[in-house]
Chain A
Amino acid sequence: MSSSSAAVRYRSTTNACKLCTPLGACLAFSGIEGAVPFLHGSQGCSTYIRRYLISHFSEPMDIASSSFGESATVFGGGENLKLGLDNVTAKYAPQLIGVATTGLTETIGDDVPRYVREYTLERGTEGGPHIVSVSTPSYAGTHAEGFHAAVRAVVAALAEGGETGDHVNLLPGLLSPADLRYLKAAAAAFGLPEVMLPDYSQTLDGPSVAEYHKIPEGGTPIGGIQSMGCARATLEMQFVGEGEATAGELLKTAFGVPNYQVGLPIGIRQTDRLFAALEEISGRPTPHDYQLERGRAIDAYVDGHKYVFGKRAIVYGEEDLVIGLTSLLAEIGVEPVLCASGGESGHFAERIAAVAPELPSNPQIAEGADFYEIAQAAEELRPDLLIGHSKGYGIARKLEAPLIRVGFPIHDRLGGQQLLHVGYAGAHELFLRIANAVIEHKQGSSSVGYSYM
């Protein structure tokens, strides 16, 4: 369903600018050490989501399914779920099975938490895997909500209190493996041991191997998740979740862990928020290397500012990513003319205004948008560039405008998992990609074919 302040409302959705909640949950579960994501639903949900994730990450992505048939649909899927858990345990020897529901099992009213409790009692999981379930009906929310719901469910199920340790919790949101590596390194540079949830920096971006690992190596250790209740602080990186019952807020309420909500650290200013929080938590100044990195990013902004100034951009994707990118665009002088997302958190417009107060005019905001609506707006707006994932390619092609590929999914280029968005280095990289896209576009459409800027 499309809706926005500007466009006509349509009942149908064409080329959605969102994915379903179970996908987000699977992505989050895949960043836990020894974990197997498990979808309680039909076989297709698991297979489609695997395909979609594999096409971006180019890594094995096993998602189990309770493989619903007619009888499970009529009589309930408890037996399928339990058999599935048995089989996954036998084959993968996982440390954790993350069970996400689907539209089907929510609609028939399967009580998955009860099944899981029964299973745990019947089979006795002493030494067996932790089983965490999350409710992710595909008819409510997007993959972003599914992702955060799964993170919260894992924290709710596993985190324990205790004496406050030295470590800090990182809740990075839906970012790339390269982003996750950057955040871990940044925490380490402040001398802060971290527990990052989820951490698919290696599980979904691993090396070539001689022996196949049933579950890819890496991921947040279970022990680390258990210790999240006694961390010295949580750094929660999201915009639209602020004020909601997030995993970070849960840790604060249940265990008194201070929660620093900093937004996605995209662009210099949003990264400054993250680093200010790291300084406060660690009691140390930003390490010299990062000050240099910040300085270089600003130096690059200066070198290239003319090429991007006043360029008009359409930004689309998950709400958090779009808000972060809008902040970056505003600080480099690009004018976002349309910020669009399939998400409908209700906070999109207000958070965009908050992160980009200097914009000369407010961009059009499209919540719950699909690509039909974005394409229509693009025809009118005639932007100079598009910033978003691969699925906007058709619009960019039609407009003959460059598409700067960011976020997820990147299905038409290699290396989506290695794109860096966050931190000073991410700001630097994004700026160069945007500026070079503008330069390349001008060079390509020039009749002269000059080789000098």
Chain B
Amino acid sequence: MTEILAARADQVHRKGASPFTMSCDKESLAGAVSQRACVFCGSRVVLYPIADALHLVHGPIGCAVYTWDIRGALSSGPQLHRLSFSTDLRERDIIFGGEAALRDSLTELIARHQPKAAFVYATCIIGVIGDDVEAVCREVSEAAGIPVVPVKSEGFRGTKKDGYYAACSALMRIVGTADTAGISPHSVNILGDFNLAGEVWIIRNYLERMGVEVVANITGDGRVTDVARAHGAALNLVQCSGSTIHLARMLQDKYGTPFKQVSYFGIDDMAASLYEVAAFFNDPQITAATAQVVREEVDAIYPQILEYRKALTGKAAAIYVGGAFKAISLVRALRLLGMRTVLVGSQTGNTDDYRLLHELCDEGTIIVDDSNPLELSSFLQEQAVDLFIGGVKERPIAYKLGVGFCDHNHERKEPLEGFVGMLNFAREVHASVMSPVWKLTPRRASQPARALEEER
């Protein structure tokens, strides 16, 4: 392995090669072309789907324009979150300060769009020029009569994870500001689901059929008023643990609300998550309804899953995604399709996540934290994979090498959560792996034996 920088050697582990250790939670190494983004990105992805809030990016234009309508986070109502607002600071503002630009922009945009709240994202420069964002937000909030919440998301203040934390802190300033009367004792908040391609609606449907009320989706198809009432729910379900686990902990500390970490990807994890909710409420009606939901949903998709499994058995997959929790679910989901995972990694996993992955995977599997294009391309070539699951930045690496690719990023247009999502996932994996185009690519064309085997 020539592609790993010495300073990153302890962020790559090969199962079976040595006892498990994994270094993670580190700042990215300069010059290593990390696939990670920054603190701002972390905050922006968490808060983005709140559809009736104004999301104002305070800084020069880049940060705002690169996050304009880039996610598949659907809203059943307002679409304000899909616009990109910026103070678009210029040299003059850098010299004399950006507070006036911020105040004027906020006032103007709030008057124009009448949002229920505003989030103000501080970008790198703001942390340097010393704008008092807090004071401007307070002033505008008083004048406009809505919460105007600063998000301390200067890009250099840590990693994407710190951005998650900043977003959760911002959300906590809204939680608890509305009345919780009338909320059922059998109620939950859905945390860490961004309603990509309507996924929250799928999960809400299951929960409602079980007899469980959903108070707030945080943040997919999110609304400010729902977030404000979130402290009234009996339980918090935390998916995508990296991004909103902080919020769950804050809610537990402040309001005593317990939380459960769940995953909606794959049949096993989806069913286990619903059963956990049922077990928590320990109500015979809910328990019976849950079993029925799982039975109906699994029955509806399982025959088709088995068809795909026939074709996919024995194929090898590589996974590199943002959060390790998602990677864990994906390993399981691929196994259901008969596929082996030979490389798995994430941008932001912690030691516990990686230990779990280590236990889950077969001998020889490479586990990697905060990887980069050269490592990933060299792993892909070494492991002869049939499928790579990742996001936009990983896609061209796979395609260039003639490897099938499945997009598990936030732009996706097909829901992958829930039972129906597992079927969509299987369909996409199947289309990616079985497409005849790979036979024409130089990588496969130079492996005639393998091509022949696949013909059979």
Chain A interface residues (CB < 8 Å from chain B): 1, 10-16, 18-20, 22-23, 38, 41-52, 54-55, 58-70, 72-73, 80-81, 83-88, 90-92, 102-104, 107-108, 137-140, 206, 208-212, 214, 391, 394
Contacts and interface: CB of A to CB of B under 8 A. Distances in A.
7 contacts: A11-B101, A12-B108, A41-B155, A43-B155, A48-B62, A48-B66, A69-B157
B374 A92 contact: yes
A344 to B, nearest CB: 10
Given A69-B156, A90-B5, 14 more contacts: A12-B104, A20-B62, A23-B62, A42-B39, A42-B156, A51-B66, A54-B393, A62-B372, A104-B125, A107-B94, A107-B125, A208-B400, A212-B380, A391-B68
A54 B33 CA distance: 14
Contacts, number: 242
A65 B31 contact: yes
Interface string B231-250: 00000000000000000000
Contact of B124 (A14, A91, A103): A103
Nearest to B64: A16
A338 to B, nearest CB: 20
B33 A64 contact: yes
A259 B84 CA distance: 40
Given A13-B85, A91-B374, A138-B61, A67 B37 contact: no
B349 interface: no
B448 interface: no
A206 B30 CA distance: 28
| Smallest CB-CB A-B distances: 6 pairs | A44-B38, A87-B31, A84-B31, A20-B62, A42-B155, A84-B30
A145 to B, nearest CB: 12
Contacts of B396: 54, 58-61
A5 B357 CA distance: 60
A15 to B, nearest CB: 5
A46 B104 CA distance: 30
A209 B446 CA distance: 11
A107 B129 contact: yes
A91 B371 CA distance: 13
A70 to B, nearest CB: 6
B393 A47 contact: yes
B442 interface: yes
Contacts of A64: 30-33
Nearest to A40: B30
Contact of A209 (B68, B104, B400): B400
B63 A44 contact: yes
B30 A83 contact: yes
Interface residues of B, number: 80
B25 to A, nearest CB: 13
A236 to B, nearest CB: 27
B381 interface: yes
A13 B156 contact: no
B21 interface: no
A376 to B, nearest CB: 11
Given A11-B101, A43-B155, A212-B381, A20 B65 contact: yes
Nearest to B409: A51
Contacts of B402: 208-210
Given A20-B62, A66-B31, A212 B378 contact: yes
Nearest to A105: B124
A52 to B, nearest CB: 6
Interface in B124-176: 124-125, 127-129, 155-159
Contacts of B69: 394
Interface of B: 3, 5, 7, 27-41, 56, 59-70, 83-91, 93-94, 101, 104-105, 108-109, 123-125, 127-129, 155-159, 372-374, 377-378, 380-381, 392-393, 395-397, 399-402, 440-443, 445-446
B61 to A, nearest CB: 5
A87 B30 contact: yes
A118 B107 CA distance: 47
A38 B29 CA distance: 13
Contact of B38 (A12, A15, A43, A103): A43
A214 B35 CA distance: 15
A92 to B, nearest CB: 7
Contacts of B36: 43, 47
B128 A73 contact: yes
A324 B205 CA distance: 53
Contact of A140 (B83, B90, B442): B90
Contacts of A83: 29-31
B408 to A, nearest CB: 15
Given A19-B61, A20-B60, A67-B27, A212 B392 contact: no
Nearest to A87: B31
B155 A44 contact: yes
A137 B128 CA distance: 14
A13 B93 CA distance: 14
B91 to A, nearest CB: 5
Contacts of A69: 27, 156-158
Nearest to A139: B60
Contacts of A42: 38-39, 124, 155-156
Contacts of A91: 3, 5, 31-32, 374
A16 B155 contact: no
Which of A65, A72, A212 has its CB near the most chain B CB atoms (within 10 A)?
A212
A13 B60 CA distance: 10
A86 B31 contact: yes
A52 B63 CA distance: 12
Contacts of A44: 37-41, 63, 155
A87 B27 contact: no
A107 B128 contact: yes
Contacts of A13: 61, 64, 85-88
A14 B65 contact: no
A42 B126 CA distance: 13
Nearest to A106: B94
Contacts of A206: 400
B62 A210 contact: no
Contact of A15 (B68, B104, B123, B157): B68
A11 B401 CA distance: 47
Contact of A214 (B66, B93, B374, B442): B374
B91 A19 contact: no
A62 B33 contact: yes
Contacts of A52: 66
